[in-house]
Amino acid sequence: MYHILSCEQFSRAELEELFNLTDEIRNNLPAYRTALAGKLVATIFYEPSTRTRLSFEAAVQRLGGCIVSTENAKEMSSVIKGESLPDTIRVIAGYCDAIILRHPDVNSAREAAAVSAVPIINGGSGSGEHPTQALLDVYTIHKHKGAIDGLTVGIMGDLLFGRTVHSLVKLLALYENITVYGLSHDVLSLPEEYVSYLEKRGGRYIPCRSFWEMPQDIDVLYHTRTQTERFQNSDLQVEEFVVDRQVMSYFSPDTILLHPLPRRHEISAEVDADKRALYFQQSHNGMYVRMGLLYNILGKGAEK
Ligand code: NCD
């Protein structure tokens, strides 16, 4: 059985294989229409989601599988009656072949995997990780840059609570000669554990205070939303680093701009028409990468 819990579990070779499989499925969709026939996948989301849940559900159905879902598990499942996550997972695992889980606790995916009779896919564990998002992020970078070794990547916004950047840093650490620039408000800087994870594997981390401290020819800019819902102090005001046309004019024609979405005002709508703004392609890619993952976990790929 193959759980997806954290980006720490992947090797470079596995990523390469997944990206090739993703392209193979994407280019031959009719051949995969029944790849998950007879499989039932549960999506159990205790936090809001648009892309992760719907792209997973689209991926399952495009591969011929079926879905059972609770999109608001916090209020619409037995949690409201006091049921624990392990009990909920034990029960749902008896109904289906895999569970995609989003939950506010950092350890939720591991806790679920410890009791589940079927694979658990972490669809976001609090302010911890969001591994499938990072897979689609690196797939998108790979598609546009050809190779990941040697890249310079600027991560921006909420680096403290942003689980997508945590997972992204862990995947980038698999590659050679990676430099990550971090642009955030002081109180939202990248936790030391991710900095040292990268550095231990040969990468460099350079904190910045403005866009202008990042190299103009940086390869990738990856912006994120301030995760205000995770603030202890709801009055805390943080400076936003807004990417607008003027900021984009500082960077090279080859710099690509990504965002896991949803964005608020940290990327102005005027940037959407810029050819370097790839966030909508990125979210579209997510469905195909998730098809690849599901095929590996539940389809023919699981028999290897
Ligand atoms: C992100 C998440 O849920 O962590 N969204 C997503 O899955 N694409 C980012 C966010 O909510 O800001």
Active site residue 102: yes
- Ligand 1 touching residue 163 (CB < 6 A): yes
Which one of 39, 62, 102, 225 is the catalytic residue?
102
Give 131-283's CATH code, choosing from 3.40.50.720, 3.40.50.1370, 2.40.420.20, 3.30.420.40.
3.40.50.1370
Distance 261 CA to ligand 1 centre (A): 6
Distance 106 CA to ligand 1 centre (A): 14
- Ligand 1 touching residue 102 (CB < 6 A): no
Write down the pLDDT at residue 237. 78
Write down the pLDDT at residue 41. 98
Tokens read off for 150: 């040697």
Tally: H helices and E strands in the chain:
10, 9
> Domain map of the chain by residue range?
7-129+286-303, 131-283
Active site residue 209: no
**Are 7-129+286-303 and 131-283 in the same CATH fold?**
yes
Put the strands of the sheet holding 220-223 in their side by side order: 204-208, 179-183, 152-156, 220-223, 256-258
pTM: 0.96
Active site residue 264: no
What is the mean pLDDT of each successive set of 10 residues along the chain, which is 304 residues long? 92 97 98 97 94 97 96 75 91 97 97 98 98 98 97 98 98 98 96 98 98 98 94 79 98 98 96 98 98 94 69
Write down the pLDDT at residue 297. 96
Listing DSSP states for 119-186 in one string gives -EEEEEETTTB-HHHHHHHHHHHHHHHS--TT-EEEEES-TTT-HHHHHHHHHHTTSSS-EEEEE--G
Please return the burial class of 275, using the count of CB atoms within 10 Å of its CB with bins 0-12, 13-18 and 19+: exposed
Nearest-atom number in ligand 1 for the CA of 227 is 12
Q: Report which DSSP code applies to 110.
A: H
The residue nearest atom 7 of ligand 1, judged by CA position, is 52
Active site residue 265: no
Nearest-atom number in ligand 1 for the CA of 224 is 12
Write down the pLDDT at residue 304. 59
Yes or no: domain 7-129+286-303 corresponds to CATH 3.20.20.120: no
Helix (H, G, I), strand (E, B) or coil at 52: helix
For a mutational test of ligand 1's pocket, the pick from 164, 222, 231, i.e. the residue with the most ligand atoms closer than 8 A to its C-beta, is 164
Active site residue 52: yes
Are 211 and 182 in contact by the 8 Å Cβ rule? The answer is no
Write down the pLDDT at residue 80. 73
Phi, psi of 159 (to 5 degrees): -90, -10
